[in-house]
Structure 1
Amino acid sequence: MKLSNSFSGALRTFAYFMASGTQDTLEGIDYLSLYGEEPSAIEQVFAIYANVIELDDDGNVVNAKYAEKRATDYLRAYCDPSFKVDPEYEEWELVLHGPPPLRDR
């Protein structure tokens, strides 16, 4: 099964705005240097995004903006310790799932 076009578009858009430094939910936060200096922070952002995003029965994304906000709130709190994520993260949102096998099947 392939990922839906809707999910592919949502992920591509999120990745673009994260990589370009123009993610609107991170306005005023200088996070681009984390890509080279602290990649685990960026890894956690994408893990939260992937854990939170939901698709309907047809594969259409139903909560792209919410997934973006949950993901980027992590980075905002990481860069600004005075920022409090609300509501606090649930354990399942923060899980870093295992990597794929080193070789394709």
Structure 2
Amino acid sequence: MKLSNSFSGALRTFVYFMSSGSQNTLEGIDYLDLYGSDPSAIEQVFAIYVNVLELDKKGNVLNAKYAEKRATDYLRAYCDPNFSADPPYEDWETALYSPPPLNDQI
């Protein structure tokens, strides 16, 4: 099964704004240097985004903006000690799953 066009579009858009430094939910936060200096912070942002993202039975994304907010609130809190995500993160939101095998299973 392939991921839906809706999921692909949501992820692509999130990646673009995160990597261009123009993510509107992170206005005023200088986060681009983290890509080279602290990639685990960026890894956590993307993990939260995909863990929170919900799809319907046809694969259409239902909550892209909420997933975006949960993910970027993590980075805002990481960069600004005076900010905390509300509500606090649950374990399932921040879970980091195992990487795929080194070789494709095709």
TM score, norm. by length of structure 2: 0.98
RMSD: 0.3
Match of 1:61 in 2: 61
Map Cα deviations across residues 46-69 of structure 1 (whole Å, 9 max, x no partner): 000010000011110000000000
Q: Which residue identity is paired with 1:52? A: V
Q: Which residue identity is paired with 2:25? A: T
Match of 1:5 in 2: 5
The 1-side partners of 2:74 and 2:21 are apart by 16
Map Cα deviations across residues 5-24 of structure 1 (whole Å, 9 max, x no partner): 00000000000000000000
The 1-side partners of 2:19 and 2:83 are apart by 22
Match of 1:41 in 2: 41
The 1-side partners of 2:22 and 2:99 are apart by 28
SS of the residue corresponding to residue 77 of structure 1 reads helix
SS of the residue corresponding to residue 69 of structure 1 reads helix
Structure 1: tracts of 5 or more residues without a match = none
TM score, norm. by length of structure 1: 0.99
The 2-side partners of 1:10 and 1:3 are apart by 11
Find runs of 4+ consecutive structure 1 residues off by over 6 angstroms: none
Question: Percent identity over the alignment?
Answer: 78
Q: Which residue identity is paired with 1:53? A: L
The 2-side partners of 1:59 and 1:39 are apart by 29
Once the 2 structures are TM-superposed, how far is the Cα of residue 84 of structure 1 from its aligned partner? 1.1
Match of 1:95 in 2: 95
Match of 1:74 in 2: 74
Map Cα deviations across residues 79-99 of structure 1 (whole Å, 9 max, x no partner): 001001100000100000000
